[in-house]
């Protein structure tokens, strides 16, 4: 009798599957079943951006603040990383599926409040020290750079993060932030396939024989503001070299022309920006309305 009951149970289960659709799409949630056989066409990952920071604290203080206080980040990269089995060790403080509190008031490529759409990496680095001779910035160690590259490359590969969406805190909040600073190894990351960097030959072509430090005429400021906005920066569109625009230009220079980030708009700044826009044309396009739409 038992074999017969078993057969009847199997037949009942098979009929239930036929009624509900393919069994492979049913997920048992305990008190109910969920059919996952009809995935929506318009959806994307929560993670759209990768944001780099420096902590301006020691390793011990960085770990304490980022794990215990009202600020957090997904990953912390030590200034002198330890290793195990021949591999350097980074600290994960927040799961990638969760929102970390690292970006604050921010904007990039039309997206605001990047905490909800980014992964943040804090790098242990003192930042800078002001001296009578001027501000001195602290470099990143070779092992730290090696680990930053390995971690960032893994993240951008898994989430398909576009090169222009690998940014610094100073890029997404240029009016209030300077990290990760002018000594952050952006070119080394780009050489490893992480983030954007202009081609030198293209920069030279756009420079067109002008002196790199030749100031742009005031009539060019409007076009420069438009180009910075097209690349991703939140910049005023006033046609004036106001304080906010100067801060954005300085942030751009700190990322892509760190030898001089005075905020003065010059020929080389314009040429670098033109080269980036040419190289990464189409790298960012607005999301279709169906993607951004949320239930009321």
Least confident of 90-99, 160-169, 277-286: 277-286
Position 286 pLDDT exceeds 50:
no
| Catalytic residue from among 82, 96, 113, 122 | 122
Are residues 62 and 76 in contact, defined by beta-carbon separation less than 8 angstroms?
A: yes
List Cα–Cα distances, 100 to 32, 119, 216, 282, in angstroms.
Answer: 32, 8, 40, 29
Q: Percent of the chain scored above 70 by pLDDT? A: 88
Residues with Cβ within 8 Å of 116's Cβ and at least 6 positions away in sequence, in order, are 46, 99
Q: What's the token pair of residue 25?
A: 């799409």
Residues with Cβ within 8 Å of 287's Cβ and at least 6 positions away in sequence, in order, are 44
Q: Percent of the chain scored above 90 by pLDDT? A: 84
CA 42/CA 171 separation, integer angstroms:
29
Nearest partner of 284 among 225, 231, 216, judged by Cα: 231
- Structure confidence at residue 293 as a pLDDT band (50, 70, 90): very low
- Other C-beta atoms lying within 10 Å of the C-beta of residue 68: 9
Question: What does the pLDDT look like over 188-242, one tens digit per residue?
Answer: 999 999 999 999 999 999 999 999 999 999 999 999 999 999 999 999 999 999 9
pLDDT of the residue at 169 = 98
Question: What does the pLDDT look like over 76-116, one tens digit per residue?
Answer: 999 999 999 999 999 999 999 999 999 999 999 999 999 99
pLDDT of the residue at 170 = 98
Any catalytic annotation for residue 122?
yes
Are residues 13 and 33 in contact, defined by beta-carbon separation less than 8 angstroms?
A: no
Least confident of 7-21, 41-55, 164-178: 7-21
Are residues 257 and 276 in contact, defined by beta-carbon separation less than 8 angstroms?
A: no
Position 291 pLDDT exceeds 50:
no
pLDDT of the residue at 42 = 85
- Structure confidence at residue 284 as a pLDDT band (50, 70, 90): low
Mean of all residue pLDDT scores within the chain: 91
Report the pLDDT averaged over residues 11-20: 50
Name residue, tokens 């020929």: 267
User: Residue 135: in which H helix or E strand, if any?
Assistant: strand 134-137
pLDDT of the residue at 294 = 39
Predicted model pTM: 0.86
């Amino acid at each position: 009798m038992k074999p017969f009951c078993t057969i009847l149970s199997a037949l009942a289960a098979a009929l239930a599957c036929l009624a509900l659709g393919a069994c492979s799409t049913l997920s048992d949630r305990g008190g109910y079943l969920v059919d996952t056989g009809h995935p929506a066409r318009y959806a994307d990952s929560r993670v759209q951006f990768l944001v780099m920071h420096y902590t301006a604290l020691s390793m011990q203080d960085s770990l304490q603040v980022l794990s215990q206080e009202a600020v957090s980040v997904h990953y912390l990269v030590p200034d002198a990383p330890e290793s195990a089995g021949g591999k350097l060790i980074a600290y994960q403080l927040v799961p990638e599926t969760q929102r970390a509190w690292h970006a604050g008031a921010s904007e990039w490529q039309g997206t605001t409040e990047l905490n909800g759409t980014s992964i943040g990496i804090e790098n242990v680095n003192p930042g800078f020290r002001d001296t009578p001779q001027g501000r001195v910035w602290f470099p990143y160690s070779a092992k730290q750079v090696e680990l930053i590259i390995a971690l960032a490359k893994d993240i951008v590969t898994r989430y398909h993060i576009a090169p222009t969406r690998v940014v610094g805190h100073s890029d997404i909040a240029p009016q209030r932030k300077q990290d990760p600073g002018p000594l952050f190894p952006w070119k080394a990351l780009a050489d490893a396939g992480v983030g954007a960097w202009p081609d030198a030959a293209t920069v030279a072509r756009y420079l067109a024989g002008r002196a790199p430090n030749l100031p742009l005429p005031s009539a060019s400021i409007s076009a420069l503001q438009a180009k910075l906005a097209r690349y991703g920066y939140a910049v005023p569109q006033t046609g004036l070299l106001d304080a906010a625009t100067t801060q954005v230009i300085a942030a751009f220079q700190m990322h892509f022309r760190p030898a001089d980030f005075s905020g003065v708009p010059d020929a080389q700044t314009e040429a670098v920006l033109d080269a980036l826009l040419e190289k990464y044309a189409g790298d960012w396009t607005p999301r279709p309305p169906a993607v951004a739409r949320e239930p009321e």
